[in-house]
Amino acid sequence: MTQSSTKPIEHAYKVTKEQAPVYSRAERKIRNANLRGRFGLALYIVLLLLPIYWLVNMSFKTNTEILSGLSFFPENFTLANYAKIFGDPTWYMGYVNSIFYVSMNMVISLLVALPAAYAFSRYKFIGDKHMFFWLLSNRMAPPAVFLLPFFQLYSSVGLFDTHIAVALAHCLFNVPLAVWILEGFMSGVPREIDETAYIDGYSFPKFFVRIFIPLIRSGIGVTAFFCFMFSWVELLLARTLTSVDAKPIAAIMTRTVSASGMDWGLLAAAGVLTILPGMLVIYFVRNHVAKGFALGRV
Amino acid sequence: MQIKVENNKAWFLVLPVFLIVAFSAIIPLMTVVNYSVQDIFDPYTRYFVGTEWFKQVMLDSRLHEALLRQFLYSFTILAIEVPLGICVALMMPTKGRGASLALILVAIPLLIPWNVVGTIWQIFGRADIGLFGAFMSSIGVDYNYASDPTDAWLTVVLMDVWHWTPLIALLCYSGLRAIPEVYYQAARIDQASRWAVFRYIQLPKLTNVLIIGVLLRFMDSFMIYTEPFVLTGGGPGSSTTFLSQSLVQQAIGQFDLGPAAAFSLVYFLIILLVCWVFYTTIMNMQKDK
């Protein structure tokens, strides 16, 4: 770099250092842009949260108040809607069922996807690319296509209306996704680590559990998050494969429609309760989630 | 990209995944294929009909309309969500408490069960009890998503934008975090404009995550079922009946197993084809780099 090209930069730097409160034009521009950004983001988040706020607001109202007019705060604050859900096993068992099959699905998906992702990230083998695309193609299969065959398949093997049926059905789209994310994270770990471990006398299973898994901890956390998310939000398959014993909360919610009209307050309360587990999970992975959304390959 | 060792024993590691996915994918798919070539009256009376159902499905005008609607819908939401998502990602703070808070808040819609998303908008859009509906009528717009096709369409698109823009935003956010600070310093020295920074530094680094985002959004919007089902039930008329919905109507509502199965296969093939085109283009683009 020549002397003449570095000089103006030095100069600009000095100005900001010595007269801190007086900003150069360029910096003022950046500050304004930042302010605009903050404002825009705040506006976006407010708009984003407004429908959810409305639901929460409604869940604390009585039905007469909901139907009598709009208000931003419940006038007769009531917990009756929530009390009804927590007091009735047919209601709250829905949450237990949902959480049960979602956790099962998370465990199954991770257990089978970990070795497979390792194979895809480390080895070349016959049909590897085709296998990978076939897996992904299952992520693309519309659940509506599989509704009836799934129902028949799981009925014929005697799994209909069990948690494991829903967990297995959700594997259809969660396992490919888990392989995809984990493969991205694993490719970020240099091969040399594997080789060093083998030279040090580690067997494959021992190396995998003791060394490799701790290295991709955040990847596993993120994968679990995604499996949770997609299994938790899915309803079509879960509803088709269950009737009583494993019925998910999202399907039970449809009961609020009755001959006497909609029970809006109860519906809103049930809706609010389905949002909470998701918020809890995202709170735990908040520090890794940014990387995870790039599926490990930024 | 790391150098990979050739080793066919790796198949043993992939085997569990293959078995578990095959159980849920290949057996049902074969059942669908089986149905698509037979006319079934009851479990014991069935006739082989060859490609008749396929011909019927391919010529069905309702399906053509649903397909057209589906493409229009998928492209509309992509055209809104991608730019909006990038904007949101650019505005998100980079470090500190604000960053995690913004991250959590933005991600909330992604974790709401899909039928609850439908319920939220069903309530929110109603003129009598919903804020959005009431707001629209108070500014003098005659808005009713249950009876007016345009309003129904608008609400479904708005709901999808509300629901899925966070995915694009978070993808882009993670892409942006991966850009080293020196790039920005260099740009500052060159006195690059905000636009130039975006166009020549940020956007190229975002291509990878944007491809994932567009692919995911395309696949998922093409399979959309639950949200419009809860919100509009496909109506008014059939203005918001997308492919999945007409399929379910046919298979479960009318119990026309043969045509429904043929339809399923055609539907699946369309998605597969579009995604294959996407996938190969991406792979070729990455090879060129």
Q: What is the CATH number of the domain that holds A160?
A: 1.10.3720.10
Q: How many domains in chain A? A: 1
pLDDT digits (tens, 9 = 90+) for A122-136: 888 888 888 888 888
Cα distance between residue A169 and residue A132, in whole Å: 19
Whether A209 maps to a domain, the answer reads yes
Percentage of chain B lying above the pLDDT 70 cut:
94
Q: Cβ–Cβ of B108/A282 closer than 8 Å?
A: yes
Nearest to B17 among A116, A153, A168 (CB): A116
pLDDT digits (tens, 9 = 90+) for A153-210: 888 888 888 899 999 999 988 998 899 888 888 888 888 888 889 899 888 889 998 8
Size of the A and B interface in Cβ pairs below 8 Å: 291
Whether A100 maps to a domain, the answer reads yes
| Per-residue pLDDT, A15 | 47
What's the pLDDT band for B288 if we cut at 50, 70, 90? low
| Cβ neighbours of A131 in B, within 8 Å | 14, 18
Interface test with B, best of A109, A121, A125 (most B CBs within 10 A): A125
Cα distance between residue B258 and residue B36, in whole Å: 5
Nearest to B108 among A119, A264, A279 (CB): A279
Nearest to B104 among A172, A267, A283 (CB): A283
Q: CA-nearest residue of chain A to B135?
A: A70
Cα distance between residue A74 and residue A57, in whole Å: 6
Whether A12 maps to a domain, the answer reads no
Whether A6 maps to a domain, the answer reads no
CB atoms within 10 A of CB B136: 19
| Per-residue pLDDT, B165 | 93
Beta-carbon-side half-sphere exposure of residue B98 (alpha carbons within 13 Å): 9
For residue B220, is pLDDT > 50? yes
Whether A69 maps to a domain, the answer reads no
Whether A43 maps to a domain, the answer reads no
Whether A119 maps to a domain, the answer reads yes
Q: How far is A82 from chain B (nearest CA, A)?
A: 16
Exposure string over A154-170, b if 16+ CB within 10 A, otherwise e: beeeebbbbbebbbbbb
CB atoms within 10 A of CB B188: 15
Q: CA-nearest residue of chain B to A116?
A: B14
| Per-residue pLDDT, A1 | 40
Alpha carbon A142 to chain centroid distance?
Answer: 19
Cα distance between residue A250 and residue A271, in whole Å: 8
Residue A115 is part of which domain span? 86-293
Domains detected in chain B: 60-288 (1.10.3720.10)
Whether A81 maps to a domain, the answer reads no
Could you tell me which residues come within 8 angstroms of residue A188 by beta carbon, excluding any fewer than 6 positions away? A296, A297
Bigger pLDDT: A152 vs B50:
A152
Q: How far is A240 from chain B (nearest CA, A)?
A: 11
Q: How far is B272 from chain A (nearest CA, A)?
A: 7
